[in-house]
Amino acid sequence: MAVSLQTKYPLRPITNIPRSYRPSFLRVRVTCAVSTTTKPQPKREKLVVEKRLVNPPLPNDPTLQSTWTHRLWVAAGCTTVFASLAKSIIGGFGSHIWLEPALAGYAGYILADLGSGVYHWAIDNYGDESTPVVGTQIEAFQGHHKWPWTITRRQFANNLHALARVITFTVLPLDLAFNDPVIHGFVSTCAFCIMFSQQFHAWAHGTKSKLPPLVVALQDMGLLVSRREHAEHHRAPYNNNYCIVSGAWNKVLDESKVFEALEMVLYIQLGVRPRSWSEPNSDWTEETEISNNQA
């Protein structure tokens, strides 16, 4: 209605209006100007903006703190691992063999790095917080991609308790069932590296000046995943450098495109797309304002 009136009776300058009537006239003009038939522009960025307003965990956030339950699980995991290591050492002394348990331990170290990469790839790309058994870890890893620096704020037992629980239930039966020093050479080293992989991961996000000198030396030697190498995992296209023990397998897996092949097989067979195919998006866009202050 307002547009048709303006078309039929175009507005012209009006003079000789008493001052007392001018305010009312101005209100009428404002009303006419607002009454248009122009379609409002869609707010295409609304959902993205709402997601970006989610606050990162605070340094004193309870989700970053260790509980006594966390500490007990880590203690239980360490006990089973060190019991396995003791059996390997004592068995080696008793049978006068050293090379075989040492080689088995090295194999456990190498395979732990591979296992960390496969598991990391899987929970980064598939499932969500409702996934049975691992849903909590999937949710945590998605939050980690948005706020990578928070892993350096997690207390020790908080960071390790989930893996420590798995190690406890896996290694304890092996401790009771076997006495072979070779078996325990493999089991103890592999289990130790898997349980502490999240700590190695946290160190890979740490600032060099704040890390223990021994940790920095092991990173520089390639025995632990380095900060520079793991940083590539948090850059687009977010589909490489998944291994977080030593990172020794990263180059092999990335250059041979093993994970890309697995993603294609799963997509063809099950129709499931990995998250890395749709990234980067707001879920994985790193909040750098705070993380830069940690460097």
**Residue 241 reports pLDDT greater than 80:** yes
**Residue 295 reports pLDDT greater than 70:** no
In whole angstroms, what is the distance from residue 279 CA to residue 3 CA?
A: 46
- Nearest CA among 100, 288, 84 for reference residue 168: 84
Q: Is 145 within a domain?
A: yes
Q: Is 235 within a domain?
A: yes
Look up the domain containing 93 and give its range: 67-277
Q: Is 230 within a domain?
A: yes
Q: Is 52 within a domain?
A: no
Q: Is 217 within a domain?
A: yes
User: Over the chain, what is the mean pLDDT?
Assistant: 80
Q: Is 43 within a domain?
A: no
Q: Is 228 within a domain?
A: yes
Percent of the chain with pLDDT over 70: 74
More confident residue, 55 or 85: 85
Does an H or E element contain 173, and which? helix 156-177
More confident residue, 229 or 288: 229
Question: Looking at the 3D structure of the chain, how many domains does it have?
Answer: 1
In which band, very low, low, confident or very high, does the pLDDT at 134 lie, cut at 50, 70 and 90? confident
Q: How far is CA 289 from the centre of its chain?
A: 18
Instruction: Tell me the pLDDT tens digit for each residue of 137-196.
Output: 888 887 777 778 788 889 999 999 999 999 999 999 999 999 999 999 999 999 999 999
Instruction: Tell me the pLDDT tens digit for each residue of 56-103.
Output: 566 577 888 999 999 999 999 999 999 999 999 999 998 889 999 999
- Please report the pLDDT score of residue 275 as a whole number: 87
- Please report the pLDDT score of residue 20 as a whole number: 44
Report, as an integer, the average pLDDT of 227-252.
Answer: 91
**Tokens encoding 107:** 């194999």
DSSP label of 235: S
Does an H or E element contain 112, and which? helix 99-125
CA atoms in the 13 A half-sphere facing the CB of 294: 18
Instruction: Tell me the pLDDT tens digit for each residue of 8-33.
Output: 445 455 455 444 444 443 343 444 44
Lowest mean pLDDT among 97-101, 113-117, 217-221, 289-293: 289-293
Does an H or E element contain 89, and which? helix 68-95
Q: Is 130 within a domain?
A: yes
More confident residue, 201 or 24: 201
